């Protein structure tokens, strides 16, 4: 007959160990490698909160003729037609270029600089200027010229003719302009007096051309 020696103390220890194991399991859980990552708290946006829109509103474009023509006038419509054919057309930039061309053309003419004039004038106008230069040279005459400044500049007309844009500009300027004979005597103008002059010049360019330059195609005064 087998005798079993049973110690009640061992039973109490076993029960205590089992209770501790299940307690730890319930608190810590088990990891399997497929657990979801901790969930980040979701920020809730109050739809009634004030929100500042940092996206700027697109600027309102001004009419191409603003400050240069009356609305619905022939000039305004002419400038609009040029702007439609030449996307980068800007009236202020054109006028700045026209004023520079006016001064350069008069200065180059006084100096008799034919090559410089050729790039700024249409062929018919160039021939007129060259004829005047040749006549001065043949007579032994010299030109005295000094550009003083502009009093006013305005566009009178603008139009598109097929691919050619044309703009007529009135220049109100002050300058010194005189012609001296071969002995140095003044035969036209006054080499010491500042004279106010008003001239109307017409510029053209082919908007389909890669050449961005406008050329002088007509003047209101006879070249002398």
**Token pair of 23, please?**
């307690």
- d(C-alpha 166, C-alpha 98), whole Å: 12
Calculate mean pLDDT across residues 201-214: 94
Instruction: Provide the pLDDT for residue 30.
Output: 40
pLDDT grade for 79, boundaries at 50, 70 and 90 = very high
Q: Residues 6 or more apart from 56 whose CB is under 8 A from it?
A: none
Instruction: Provide the pLDDT for residue 99.
Output: 96
Instruction: Provide the pLDDT for residue 222.
Output: 73
* In the chain, where the domains are located: 74-219
Q: Residues 6 or more apart from 39 whose CB is under 8 A from it?
A: none
Taking each helix axis as running N to C, give the angle between helix 91-111 and helix 123-139, from 0 to 180 degrees, rounded to the nearest 10.
30
Q: What is the pTM of this model?
A: 0.72
Q: What are the pLDDT digits (tens) for 31-55?
A: 433 233 444 444 444 555 555 445 5
pLDDT score of 189 more than 90: yes
Q: Which has more confidence, 8 or 196? A: 196
Residue closest to 223 by CA, chosen among 199, 204, 194, 203: 199
pLDDT grade for 28, boundaries at 50, 70 and 90 = very low
Spelled out in words, what is the top-level CATH class assigned to the domain 74-219? Answer: alpha beta
- d(C-alpha 14, C-alpha 3), whole Å: 22
Calculate mean pLDDT across residues 122-138: 96
Instruction: Provide the pLDDT for residue 4.
Output: 46
Instruction: Provide the pLDDT for residue 206.
Output: 96
Is 70:76 a contact under the CB 8 Å cutoff? Answer: yes
DSSP per-residue codes, 93-162:
HHHHHHHHHHHHHHHHHHHT-HHHHHTTB-HHHHHHHHHHHHHHHHHT-EEEEEEEEEEEEEEEEEEEET
Instruction: Provide the pLDDT for residue 8.
Output: 56
Q: What are the pLDDT digits (tens) for 165-175?
A: 999 999 999 99
Exposure of 111 by Cβ count < 10 A (0-12 exposed, 13-18 middle, 19+ buried)? middle
Instruction: Provide the pLDDT for residue 16.
Output: 54
């Amino acid at each position: 007959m087998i005798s079993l020696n049973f110690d009640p103390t061992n039973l109490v220890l076993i029960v205590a160990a089992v209770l501790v194991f299940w307690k730890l399991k319930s608190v810590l859980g088990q990891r399997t490698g497929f657990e979801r990552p901790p969930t980040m708290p979701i920020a809730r946006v109050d739809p009634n909160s004030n929100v500042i829109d940092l996206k700027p509103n697109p600027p309102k474009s001004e009419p191409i003729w603003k400050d240069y023509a009356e609305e619905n006038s022939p000039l305004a419509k002419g400038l609009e037609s040029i702007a439609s054919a030449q996307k980068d057309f800007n009236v202020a930039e054109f006028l700045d270029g026209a004023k520079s061309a006016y001064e350069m053309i008069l200065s180059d003419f006084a100096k008799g600089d034919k090559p410089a004039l050729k790039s700024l004038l249409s062929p018919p106008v160039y021939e007129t200027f060259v004829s005047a230069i040749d006549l001065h040279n043949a007579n032994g005459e010299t030109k005295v010229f000094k550009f003083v400044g502009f009093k006013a500049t305005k566009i009178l007309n603008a139009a598109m003719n097929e691919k050619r844009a044309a703009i007529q500009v009135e220049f109100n300027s002050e300058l010194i302009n005189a012609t001296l004979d071969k002995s140095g005597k003044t035969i036209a103008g006054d080499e010491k007096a500042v004279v106010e002059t008003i001239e109307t010049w017409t510029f053209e360019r082919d908007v389909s051309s890669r050449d961005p330059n406008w050329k002088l195609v007509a003047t209101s005064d006879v070249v002398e």
